[in-house]
Every structure is written in structure tokens, then in C-alpha cells.
Structure 1
Amino acid sequence: MARVVVDVMPKPEILDPQGKAVLGALPRLGFDLVTDVRQGKRFELQVDGEITDAVLAEIEKVAGTLLSNPVIEDFEVHVEEHSVAEVAHEAGRA
């Protein structure tokens, strides 16, 4: 089983109040290195079988019609070996 990830972010020209709120909170918590924050969404999709160009084209359609708002958001589709949760789980066992 393969995993395809869709990362959705606000377009650069779109205001990001959630990102600005996080940016404003960081110095109050003692984190001074970050200069900007943009908040987005991540979708992990399980796909049966091999990831082909046709499968990726289908995922692109899903991302453009359901997972994102193309007027205000951009998205990227990529294949990933392990989910964030699996990596965190493995790190906890080490």
C-alpha cells in the first residue's frame, strides 16, 4: 500500500491570520529564531497498488476539487514512504 501526501498552503498573496498568530506567540514563549509562519493543511492518502502517472493525476484532481480551494490555496502532491505518525511512533521506540 502506498501513501500519497497532499500539502495545501495559502497562496503567498493571501493573508494568513493563523500563521500570524503563531508568529506572534513564538517570542512570548522564548522562540526568537522564526521570522515568518504560514499555516496549511496536510492530507495523507492511502492508495492500493502501484503509484502510476494515472494515479497521481487522479490525486491531483482530488486535491484541486476537494482538498483545496484553488482560488486562495496552492497544493503539492508527493509520494511518501512513511506517515508523520509512523515516524514519530518509531522515534518513540528508539
Structure 2
Amino acid sequence: MKVRVVVMLKEGVLDPQGEAIRHALGAMGFDGVNGVRQGKVIALDVADGTTEDEVAQMCERLLANTVIESYTVEMP
């Protein structure tokens, strides 16, 4: 079963990579971009029957730094 985990910095946490992307887009002529938040997507292929709670435990223990990051789990 395919599962996607999206990990993003929490609101209020400085995102220097996102700011660099925003600045680069402006330099390329894309003036309408007011903000960028950069994150990561983790694609998991897990056994059928794996629960969303189990995936959340994976996120809490390894995939996300929950002090500064939030995550969402996308399951079929």
C-alpha cells in the first residue's frame, strides 16, 4: 500500500530555503510570489493493513522533527 507523508516547518519557524526560493523566483521575473514554505514528501510502501496510527508513530519517532515540523499522512 502506498502512503505519502508531507512534512513542513511549523508556522513561525524561519524557513531560509523557502525564502531563498522566493527570492530566486523574484529574480527570474515571477513577482507575484509573496511567500514560500519548503518541505519534503516521503513516499512509503507499507504492508496492507498498516494503520494511519502506525504511520503517525513513524512520523513522531523518525520522519518528522515534531518540535519544528508538522506532518500530514495521505493514505488510500
Gaps of 5+ in 1: 81-94
Task: Find the counterpart in structure 1 of residue 53 from structure 2.
Answer: 57
**Greater C-alpha Rg:** 1
Corresponding position of 2:27: 28
Please, what is the CA RMSD of the aligned residues?
1.3
Counterpart of 2:73? 77
Gaps of at least 5 residues in structure 2 are none
Kindly provide the CA deviation profile for residues 5-33 of structure 1, in whole angstroms up to 9, marking residues without a partner as x.
11000010100000000001101112122
TM-score, normalised with respect to structure 2 = 0.91
2:23 is the counterpart of 1:15: no
1:32-82 CA distance string (max 9 Å, x none): 22211001111000122245xxx11100000111011010000000125xx
Return the alpha-carbon distance in structure 2 between the equivalents of residues 48 and 76 of structure 1: 19
Secondary structure class of the residue paired with 1:74: strand
Comparing both chains, which one has the higher relative contact order based on Cα–Cα distances under 8 Å and sequence gaps of 6 or more?
2
C-alpha separation in 2, matches of 1:79 and 1:31: 34
* Counterpart for residue 46 of structure 2: 47
Percentage identity across paired residues of the two chains: 42
